[in-house]
Amino acid sequence: MGISDILNRTHVAWMDAQGPESDIVISSRVRLARNLRAIPFPHLLNEKTGAQVIAQVNQALKTSKNNISRGLVLVPFNQLSSLDRSVLVEKHLISPEHAGNPLPYRGVVVNDEGSLAIMVNEEDHLRIQCVLSGLQLNQANKYAELADDSLEESLDYAFDEKHGYLTSCPTNVGTGMRASVMLHLPAVAITNQTNTVIQSITQLGLTVRGMYGEGTEATGRLYQVSNQVTLGQSEEDIINNLWTVVIQIVEQERHLRERLLKEMRYQVEDRVLRSYGILTNARMVSSTEALSLLSDVRMGIDMRILPEVNRQVLNELLVAIMPSHLQKAFGEEMEPMQRDIRRAEIIKQKLNLK
């Protein structure tokens, strides 16, 4: 298996829904930013120096003695179509910024499960990330560090004894770590507490972004919470701080769901059943509307208003209904209306409906 297999199937590791708190925490991600000491940072690269990064990373992967990196292959962007790069974005394996600038010396490394991905020559020479289901920050950090260590056997990183790992963006200097979780918070949104929760999170040194990270909106009541600062904090500090805050948010969401059922049962059931009715009968649906309706349905399943559906199916739908995945699945370019029709079909199919 390789990247072609990842591109042709909807499922990747973070969709398993087997991790702790997976009714609210969709996924956990740890990303490490690293740069090579003797080569200009990516914003100063040209084809020659960019190719040097590619060559060094390829050599490091080939010579690694660590099982986590053995057999991995770097795929340059000139071997991937625009559609394929967009598919990787929708799977949360590369960033929109990385996909949007297909320089020949940019590339990606992905393992068979899609749990480990390495962006090459994005904002930094290397962005090593592990994404797992549920609240598994420590495990994601462990896997990312194993991959980092295996590459460092051959690569000479830009590192300063005082400041730590040197990165293109000053906010990543130090550990170079960004840890994040994706949360589904419908009750927080329904009770109009989103702004209050976000303000509390930012006061604790964390930041809140949308489904695809920086610069994206929180569609489908899905929010990414991550650390803002890496300098002056250890990896353990970053993970523990984020984990503590996430547990508090999870408890608040669960409390609000219970309150909604107690105080507004008919309104909540009506909302859930209307959304379910639209999804099970609509002939066409946009991605934005689908995410909103699926949020209600997911909440209804978790609150036992609707028959239970495997959460893995719901996680897979977050990706399967996206524009590039629809075009990849059906093997054709589509106008928006065609995508809306196919999206409605996919949703019914995944929910085991005719």
Q: What is the DSSP track for 101-120?
A: ---TT-EEEE-TTSSEEEEE
Q: How far is the C-alpha of 179 from the C-alpha of 142, rounded, in Å?
A: 12
58-72, 135-149, 229-243: range with lowest mean pLDDT: 58-72
E strand segments, the chain:
25-34, 74-76, 107-110, 116-120, 126-133, 159-160, 164-165, 177-184, 206-209, 222-227
pLDDT at 65 over 60: yes
Q: How far is the C-alpha of 29 from the C-alpha of 134, rounded, in Å?
A: 10
pLDDT digits (tens, 9 = 90+) for 93-115: 999 999 998 898 999 999 999 99
Q: The tokens of 159 are what?
A: 């590192």
Per-chain mean pLDDT for the chain: 92
Give the mean pLDDT of 72-82: 92
pLDDT at 326 over 80: yes
Label residue 212 by pLDDT band (50, 70, 90): low
CATH 3.30.590.10 domain position(s) in the chain: 3-255
| Interacting residues of 268 by C-beta distance below 8 A, sequence separation 6+ | 190, 260, 261, 303, 305
What pLDDT does residue 353 have? 59
Q: Which CATH architecture has domain 3-255?
A: 2-Layer Sandwich (3.30)
State the pTM of this model: 0.92
Q: What is the DSSP track for 179-190?
A: EEEEEE-HHHHH
7-21, 131-145, 335-349: range with lowest mean pLDDT: 7-21
| Interacting residues of 20 by C-beta distance below 8 A, sequence separation 6+ | 134, 135, 136
32-46, 68-82, 136-150, 279-293: range with lowest mean pLDDT: 68-82
Q: The tokens of 49 are what?
A: 């120096």
Q: How far is the C-alpha of 118 from the C-alpha of 120, rounded, in Å?
A: 6
| Three-state secondary-structure class, residue 149 | helix
Per the DSSP assignment, residues forming a β-bridge with 107 are: 76, 120
Label residue 292 by pLDDT band (50, 70, 90): very high
What pLDDT does residue 217 have? 64
